[in-house]
A and B are shown apart, each in its own frame.
Chain A
Amino acid sequence: MGAAPCRQPKDPLMYSPTAARAPLAWAAPAIVIMLLFHYGAFVAGGWYAFTDWDGLSTPNFVGLANFRQVLTSAEARAALTNTLLLTFFYVTLSNLIGLGLALMLNGALRAQNILRMVFFAPVVMSPLAVSYVWKFIFSVNGPLNAGLEALGLEGATRVWLGDPDTALWSVLVVMVWQFSGLCMAFYLAGLQGIPTDLIEAAEIDGASPWRRFRKITFPLLAPAATVSIALPTIFGLRTFDQVIALTFGGPGYATETLATQIFKQTFAFGRFGYGAAFALVLTALVLVVSVIQLLVLRAREDRI
């Protein structure tokens, strides 16, 4: 790359003096990769969504037929509702727990480093592995039911993953357990940026702990909240591993998500066109939700 001929600027004023140090050509491989793997693949995938392609024969254009089916079929509706429910509660709960943990572990506690390490540890593990551990905990004769019986709560025992009323919430528990520590880390980083003299000044002025949190700490955590809400939202909308490991979408369609449907329709049933339509819906959802969220959350940050 160093052998590239030195480009002589025709008009020195047209070029920033630093531009010549990093010729655009250096970014060319990455630009080509972006065009192939993101933009090109996106357009191709978008085109499949309007065809009946089965992965082998020539695709035929079918207009909006795939989308009509996405909006009307039972499994597609279940997938959409479940994805939205999971995402909403996952984001809310992991933020509440994460914020609580951060407030609890901010400041001089004995063993605070070890405690932080424990809460963050699940974040680094594969969601698949984590889900298998929980699958055992939730199993019919497993520790959860055994524990409930030991407490004399036989009535509360359930087939957690096999009951349409509890399956989705069991998946949610696994996600919240695994990723609350991530929100904790975001909020801890935010808390460390808040000057202590600000809090102390409010304390001297006689502000109650709740008031200090409400009026100082919480607003100043806005940048941490932005990441802590936006990232889990994207994770939540793409939920796949946990469902595949815990329930495979069942019982019935009780835990089907958009991502599991994309996988099943495309790679298990060979309906590439229909699967692509699903994926396009997921993409649209992620884009709309992310953009709205970022606009709202950034506006909150600007008000600090």
Chain B
Amino acid sequence: MNRPSALNTFGRELGALALALLWCVPFYYLAIVSLKPMSEIFADPVGFPDQLAFANYAEAWRGTMGVSLGQAMLNSLIVTIGSVVAVIALGSASAYVIARNGRRMGTLLFFFFVIGIILPHQLSVVPLYSVMRQIGLVGNQLGLIVLYSGLMTPMSVFLYSGFVRTLPADYEEAAEVDGASRGRIFLKVIFPLLAPVTGTVAVMVGMVVWNDFFIQLIFLSGSPAQTLPVAVYGFVGEFSARWNLVFAAVFVSVVPILAFYLLAQKQLIKGFTGGIK
């Protein structure tokens, strides 16, 4: 009957734009406060800085307790990449086993893994912490990689399973005829076919690990291996009244993930919403 009128669309656009501007307010403060000298922050909490204090960044970069923000970022990167690689290996192989092992066994295994997504790890962390402390896995990157590999495996199995199930066995049969070993078939034929899910798993697990605070606070607090969230937390504890330094540190800590978001936006949103038809 009636097409959406130009006026109607224009109204929606205006509404959306106004809301988006409102949504940007925290980003605005994140940028301007980090560039203000201390004297300007509360004298004019809303406006632009009169003089740009880039020195805030230099000071924030030094970090606290002998760990610079650069070092913390490197620690975060090591923990994130290590966890992602481990979780991809564990998840892809397990999902393949689930898909190729008959219905009953497959379903059983699927639930064995996936139940771990719902269970909050607040309970498991208490005993894991005490055991890992005894074997020297508290206060270093390796311990966190091991822990996250364990905690994130259910999510990766879940994401991989949905995809592997739809893979026809034709490719494997062809490779078998050619006499390839099973391990070789998985690595050379199956795993490359899983590339889209591997991307999703990497993005989702990477994001969760990069941003997680609870576990990193417990396992790395006060250690030289502290990651970005722990470093920023410690930094705020030490400089709580100096908002410009706090904001510079916060800004530095969110730049990598925001840059990544701008580059891999489609992949990231798809990772979240992939299950919805």
Contact = CB atoms under 8 A, between A and B. Distances in A.
A and B co-occur in one complex: yes
Nearest to A116: B269
A52 to B, nearest CB: 14
Interface string B220-246: 000000001100110010000001001
B247 A27 contact: no
Interface stretch (A65-73, A84-92, A153-161, A185-193): A185-193
B236 A132 contact: yes
Nearest to A100: B19
A82 interface: no
B130 interface: yes
A193 B277 contact: yes
Contacts of A300: none
Interface string A221-240: 00110010000001001101
B183 interface: yes
B96 A26 contact: yes
B193 interface: no
A16 B102 contact: yes
B273 A2 contact: no
Q: Residue among A189, A238, A272 with the most chain B CB within 10 A? A: A189
A42 B214 contact: no
Contact of A1 (B16, B183, B246): B183
Contacts of A94: none
Given A115-B20, A132-B232, A224 B254 contact: no
Interface stretch (B26-34, B54-62, B65-73, B77-85): B26-34
A112 to B, nearest CB: 8
Nearest to A117: B265
Given A30-B113, A126-B213, A104 B272 contact: no
A172 interface: no
Contacts of B154: 34, 38
B1 A22 contact: no
Interface residues of B, number: 97
A222 to B, nearest CB: 10
B100 A21 contact: yes
Contacts of A16: 100-102
B24 interface: yes
A126 B254 contact: yes
Interface string B156-179: 010000000000010010001000
A263 B214 contact: yes
B123 A42 contact: yes
A36 B47 CA distance: 53
Interface in B90-132: 90-91, 93-94, 96-102, 105, 109, 112-113, 115-116, 118-120, 122-130
A30 B124 contact: no
A177 B25 CA distance: 11
B26 A24 contact: no
Given A22-B182, A128-B229, 17 more contacts: A4-B183, A18-B172, A22-B97, A23-B97, A27-B109, A30-B90, A38-B116, A42-B124, A46-B123, A117-B265, A126-B228, A126-B254, A128-B211, A137-B29, A240-B214, A283-B120, A287-B119
20 contacts: A2-B182, A27-B94, A34-B113, A37-B151, A38-B124, A38-B151, A41-B128, A45-B126, A109-B13, A111-B13, A119-B20, A126-B211, A126-B229, A133-B29, A177-B26, A185-B273, A206-B1, A279-B122, A283-B122, A287-B118
